[in-house]
Every structure is written in structure tokens, then in C-alpha cells.
Amino acid sequence: MISKNRLVAIVDDEADITKLFRDALGVVSGITIFTFTDPIIALEHIMINKTKYVLIISDLRMPGLNGMELIKKVKNMNRLVRTVLMTAFDFDDELFQQYIETQIINGFLQKPIMLKDLVKEVDNQLHIYQLEEHKTKLP
């Protein structure tokens, strides 16, 4: 899959979710996973390492900065980074649809999330990242 060690962030205000997802994604090779329960701290870490991140998985509803705001800020820093938004709530508004259409949000997972579905989505997003990165390096 990805030969270089790339960074993946899991951002959710519930620590047990971030731990569960980090453990489940341990089977994916070539990535280092960082977990955050505070989206502001996550954003600071992503800013410092913006070219190293390949995927951001974020919950929608979090205190301080919601998942859509976080993803938008990350995409403004690095258009190549892949993003997955997750929520336990029914969610379908105009801004969400716009973010999907403009590829600010690249994937969506509805909680409760089956761990096999999470791994499949991450594999898919990493594969797309690799293809996009390769295209940008072609002459």
C-alpha cells in the first residue's frame, strides 16, 4: 500500500472511540496514527506536520471546533490530505453536501461504525491519496 510512513489523525472527543479506532487501524501498514480528543490540539499538530498527514478522521460534533470546521481548515493547508467525517447523528445539510461535492469531505461514516468498515474506508482513502500524490508528481 503506502511504502513511506504517513500520518493519520483520529479526532473524537470520546477517548474510548479514538483508542478503539487506533487499535483497529493497527493492521494498516505504513501509517502512524495520532489520536486527539481536543480538535484544537489536533489542528495545531496537523499544522506543524501538514505535509506528513495523509488522512484525517474526525467526529462531527465536538466542543471548540466541529468536525466540518476542522476538515475545512486542514484542506486549506493541504488539498491532498484525505478526510473522513463521522457522526452518530442524522446529518444532511447544505454545507455538508457542498463539502462532499467539492471534496473537502472525502468520506463519511455513520456511527456506530463496524471496525471492518473503518479499516476498509481507511484503506480506500489511503489508496486514493497515493494515486493523487503520484499524479501531482508526474511531469
In tens digits, what is the pLDDT along the chain, a chain of 139 residues? 344 579 999 999 999 999 999 999 999 989 999 999 999 999 999 999 999 999 999 999 999 999 999 999 999 999 999 999 999 887 668 888 899 999 999 999 999 999 999 999 999 999 999 999 888 877 6
> Can you state the angle between helices 67-77 and 39-48, rounded to 10 degrees?
10
The hierarchical CATH code for the domain 6-137 is: 3.40.50.2300
Dihedrals phi, psi of 19, to nearest 5 degrees: -65, -45
DSSP code of 85?
E
